């Protein structure tokens, strides 16, 4: 049975690092929207296109891989329970196992990481201000115990 792993968290939480590690460990396909956004769109076109990219384009690739029995690592962020439920349900409907990795680090830790990253931005990343981080932190719906129990497997990282 193929496995879909959804990695969620705010910028600076380490989603892409986790995704890369799992990609190697599991010999899986890793889908990271920022890498696709950078290749497909001018930075001025990014707003409003992320959901279409994640929910339609990248999910199409993920679904086909799962149908073929290939594990998929989704490095998506997914700040709302509704989004996460959508991907979990889609994977399970395809007969795949659905796992979630929640990276829920303190905002101070995230800011320290982002501040360092902002100085020398890696490819396919974008600068984040402290104000944006606080705004996004307020919008992030941290998965509840009840929510993570709906997943086949889960891991919560708080530090």
Q: What pLDDT does residue 34 have?
A: 76
Q: What pLDDT does residue 35 have?
A: 75
Distance CA 121, CA 134 (A): 20
Q: Domain-by-domain residue ranges, the chain?
A: 3-157
3-state secondary structure 54-70: HHHHHHHHHHHHHHCCC
Average pLDDT over residues 94-106: 97
Average pLDDT over residues 125-143: 93
Distance CA 103, CA 7 (A): 8
- Which tokens belong to 105? 């680090």
CATH topology of domain 3-157: Rossmann fold (3.40.50)
Are 133 and 11 spatial neighbours (Cβ–Cβ below 8 Å)? yes
- 25-44 per-position pLDDT tens digit: 999 999 988 777 665 655 55
2 phi and psi, to 5 degrees?
Answer: -70, 155
């Amino acid at each position: 049975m193929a496995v879909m792993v959804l990695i969620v968290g705010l910028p600076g939480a380490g989603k892409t690092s986790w995704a890369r590690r799992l990609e190697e460990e599991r010999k899986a396909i890793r889908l990271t929207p920022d890498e696709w956004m950078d290749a497909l769109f001018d930075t001025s076109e990014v707003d409003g296109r992320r959901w279409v990219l994640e929910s339609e384009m990248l999910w199409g690739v993920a679904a086909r891989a799962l149908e073929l029995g290939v594990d998929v690592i989704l490095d998506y962020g997914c700040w709302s329970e509704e989004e996460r439920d959508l991907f979990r349900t889609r994977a399970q409907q395809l007969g795949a196992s659905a796992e979630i990795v929640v990276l829920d680090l303190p905002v101070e830790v995230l800011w320290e990481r982002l501040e360092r990253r902002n100085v020398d931005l890696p490819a396919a990343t974008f600068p984040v201000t402290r104000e944006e981080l606080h705004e996004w932190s307020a919008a992030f719906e941290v998965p509840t115990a009840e929510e993570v129990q709906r997943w086949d497997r889960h891991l919560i990282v708080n530090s």
